[in-house]
């Protein structure tokens, strides 16, 4: 009861802020709003809700929503960034506006950062660093970064978690989970989108950002999975200067990947960089099932040797072997225009409901794939493509797959970065070598043996429980006989009677045949 009231008041604050930005019940949709929404707008007019802010005048619905979410703090900034990859929920124009949502806030004082560093590392700051720059090089809603030099003389970047961020994030996510539970329980159209599962997935991902030791571990794990040629790499972690709220890594020196002119001036080929980034991302996701899920331009630099250096490992994604195979077959199906194959993959994975036509789904996929096949990136609207895909899944009553939300979101961002480097890049042709390599490896005899071994191991883990149940059933039969439900006993008796009747008629038929043969002789 008290929890519901607490969540309700917290969400009321959110609603007031949205209303102030005309983002709760947008004026553009006034004729389409239900009665309760029109009443809400009237309440605004009689001062029960805040007046519209002057800085939203003349802005679109998506821009107003981005401003409102940005003013609500880190949880809602992250929510807006996630909704940017879901045009099926918010519409293409709003999704496009949310991609501009910036996660930049004023920095907290350097003195507070020093205090957190000393408390977390349990040493005076002079024992760990020769110097730390007062002004942070980056300040976001969750943490800020200071350049520093260690006592050994190594240039590093020190990430410090923002004070008080953990409890605020938890309160907001608890309220969102409560709202998602209500939405899924009472709003049938939203059930297909699995809002509870989506919020749970987002909570797991973003709470990883609350413990910088986990981000350090992600950086270390990703570094091991990247190609051995070192042309895509991650900075090394300084574990001696890393704790729950402090992360220290080697300082990255290079050109921002978004500055194409500077890259060309430095002698780098943007087309090569675009191909390298796309193939590395696909290899992370499909080859290893562990990928960097925040590959925007601010997290990518190009070193002097042409290598792409990735930073900020707070948001990472994982895909199971099953989901990686599903994604690989789906991609190769689109690349080769084999839409029936894609449809069958969806059916075999259980994503396409059994009562839906595989052939009709393949036809719907063709309507999406044919217009984009072979066209350069600059001629493809990724937002429109995703919107069409989600519309198709809604038509065929397919549930949202939370495991793929981060992958879909990151794919949009990566393609945007690659498009800025090479507007003529054909993402299908660039993707083909990585996808085909994964498929060959997946269906090789060695991997089939691995799959069989994993299945056998899963059965072996369940075997003791199964044997225990069988032993209990055997003991029950031995001690007191097998007890059957009356209806079950009736059914067995009826079956036995029918069997006896069939046997009787078979005997009569056999006797008749013998008589006929005897007469014939």
**282-336 tens-digit pLDDT:** 899 888 889 998 888 889 999 999 999 999 998 888 888 888 888 778 777 877 7
Position 36 scores a pLDDT of 55
Q: Which of the listed ranges 126-130, 227-231, 514-518 does the model predict with the highest average pLDDT?
A: 126-130
Best CA proximity match to 91, nearest among 309, 458, 386: 386
Following DSSP, what letter does each residue of 134-148 receive, concatenated? SS-SEE-SSEEEEEE
Q: Please tell me which residue, 270 or 286, carries the higher pLDDT value.
A: 270
pLDDT value at 245 more than 90: yes
Mean per-residue pLDDT, 456-468:
59
Higher pLDDT, 499 or 438: 438
Cα separation, 95 vs 63, in Å, equals: 10
| Inter-residue contact 163 to 116 (CB < 8 Å) | yes
Task: Enumerate the H helices of 187-228 as residue ranges.
Answer: 188-191, 195-207, 212-225
Say whether pLDDT at 1 is over 60: no
Poorest-pLDDT segment among 83-87, 119-123, 160-164, 424-428: 83-87
Is the pLDDT reported for residue 498 higher than 80?
Answer: no
H or E stretch covering 490: helix 486-520
User: What is residue 287's DSSP assignment?
Assistant: I
| Separation CA 162–CA 171 (nearest Å) | 16
In this model, does residue 490 exceed pLDDT 50? yes
Q: Which two tokens stand for residue 261?
A: 């002119």
Is residue 230 over pLDDT 90?
no
Range from 131-145, 192-206, 267-281, 302-316 carrying the lowest mean pLDDT: 192-206
- For residue 516, name the pLDDT band (cuts at 50, 70, 90): very low
Band of pLDDT at residue 479, cut at 50, 70 and 90: low
Q: Is 294 a catalytic residue?
A: yes
Is 402 in contact with 197 (CB distance < 8 Å)?
yes
pLDDT value at residue 519: 44
d(C-alpha 14, C-alpha 16), whole Å: 5
329-366 confidence digits (pLDDT tens):
877 787 778 889 888 888 887 888 888 888 998 898 88
Give me the residue label for tokens 């996630």. Answer: 82
| Digit-coded pLDDT (tens) for 16-74 | 777 777 666 555 555 555 565 556 555 555 444 555 565 666 677 777 888 878 777 77
Residues 6+ positions from 360 with CB-CB distance below 8 Å? none
Q: Is the pLDDT of residue 124 over 80?
A: yes
- The three-state DSSP-derived secondary structure of 35-70 is HHHHHHHHHHHCCCCCCCCHHHCCCCHHHHHHHHHH
Q: Residues 195-203: what's their mean pLDDT?
A: 72
Q: Give the pLDDT of residue 133.
A: 94
* Measured CA distances, 421 to 263, 297, 305, 413 (Å): 10, 11, 17, 13
Q: Which of 184-198, 206-220, 264-278, 447-461 has the highest mean pLDDT?
A: 264-278
For residue 143, give the nearest of 176, 88, 90, 103 by alpha carbon: 103
Residue 166 has pLDDT above 50, yes or no: yes
As a whole number of angstroms, the distance between CA 249 and CA 39 comes to: 53
Higher pLDDT, 195 or 128: 128
Q: What is the mean predicted confidence (pLDDT) over 104-127?
A: 92
Cα–Cα distance, 69 to 67 (Å, whole number): 6
CB 267 within 8 Å of CB 208: no
The Cα 292–Cα 311 span in angstroms is 9
Chain centroid offset of residue 73 CA: 21
pLDDT band at residue 512 using 50, 70 and 90 as cut-offs: very low
Structure tokens at 290: 């562990």
What is the C-alpha separation between 322 and 357, in angstroms, rounded? 23
State the catalytic residue, choosing from 22, 294, 312, 422.
294
């Amino acid at each position: 009861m008290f929890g519901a009231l607490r969540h309700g008041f917290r969400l009321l604050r959110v609603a007031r802020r949205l209303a102030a930005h005309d983002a709760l019940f947008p004026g553009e949709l006034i004729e389409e709003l239900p009665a309760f929404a029109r009443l809400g707008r009237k309440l605004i007019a009689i001062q029960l809700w805040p007046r519209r802010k002057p800085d939203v005048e003349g802005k679109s619905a998506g821009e107003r929503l981005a401003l409102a979410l940005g003013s609500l703090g880190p949880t809602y900034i992250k929510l807006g960034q996630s909704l940017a990859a879901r045009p099926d929920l918010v519409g293409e124009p709003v999704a496009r506006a949310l991609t501009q949502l910036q996660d930049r806030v004023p920095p907290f004082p350097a003195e507070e950062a020093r205090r957190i560093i000393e408390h977390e590392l349990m040493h005076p700051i002079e024992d760990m660093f020769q110097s730390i720059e007062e002004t942070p090089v980056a300040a976001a809603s969750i943490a800020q970064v200071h350049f520093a030099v260690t006592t050994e003389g190594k240039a590093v970047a020190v990430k410090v978690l923002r004070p008080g961020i953990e409890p605020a994030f938890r309160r907001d996510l608890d309220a969102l989970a409560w709202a998602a539970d209500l939405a899924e329980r009472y709003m049938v159209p939203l059930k297909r989108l699995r809002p509870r599962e989506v919020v749970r997935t987002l909570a797991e991902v973003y709470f990883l950002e609350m413990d910088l030791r986990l981000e350090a571990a992600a950086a270390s794990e990703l570094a091991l999975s990247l190609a051995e040629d070192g042309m895509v790499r991650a900075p090394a972690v300084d574990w001696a200067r890393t704790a729950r709220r402090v992360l220290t890594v080697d300082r990255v020196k290079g050109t921002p990947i978004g500055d194409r002119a500077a890259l060309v001036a430095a002698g780098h080929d943007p087309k090569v960089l675009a191909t390298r980034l796309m193939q590395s991302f696909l290899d992370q996701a499909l080859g290893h099932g562990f990928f960097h899920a925040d590959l925007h331009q601010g997290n990518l630099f190009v070193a002097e040797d042409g290598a792409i250096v990735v930073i900020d490992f707070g948001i990472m994604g994982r895909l199971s072997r099953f989901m990686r195979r599903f994604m690989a077959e789906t991609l190769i199906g689109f690349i080769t225009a084999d839409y029936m194959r894609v449809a069958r993959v969806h059916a075999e994975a259980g994503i396409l409901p059994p009562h839906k036509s595989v052939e009709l789904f393949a036809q719907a996929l063709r309507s999406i794939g044919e217009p984009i096949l072979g066209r350069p990136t600059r001629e493809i609207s990724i937002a429109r493509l995703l919107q069409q895909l989600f519309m198709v899944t809604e038509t065929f009553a397919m549930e949202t797959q939370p495991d793929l939300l981060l992958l879909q979101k990151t794919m949009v961002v990566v393609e945007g970065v690659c498009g800025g480097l090479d507007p003529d890049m054909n993402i299908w042709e660039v993707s083909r070598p990585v996808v085909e390599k994964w498929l060959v490896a997946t269906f090789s005899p060695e991997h089939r043996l691995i799959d069989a071994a994993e299945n056998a191991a899963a059965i072996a883990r369940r075997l003791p429980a199964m044997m225990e149940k069988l032993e209990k059933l055997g003991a029950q039969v031995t001690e007191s006989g097998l007890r059957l439900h009356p209806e079950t006993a009736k059914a067995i008796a009826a079956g036995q009677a029918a069997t006896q009747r069939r046997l009787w008629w078979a005997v009569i038929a056999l006797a008749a045949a013998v008589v006929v043969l005897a007469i014939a002789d």
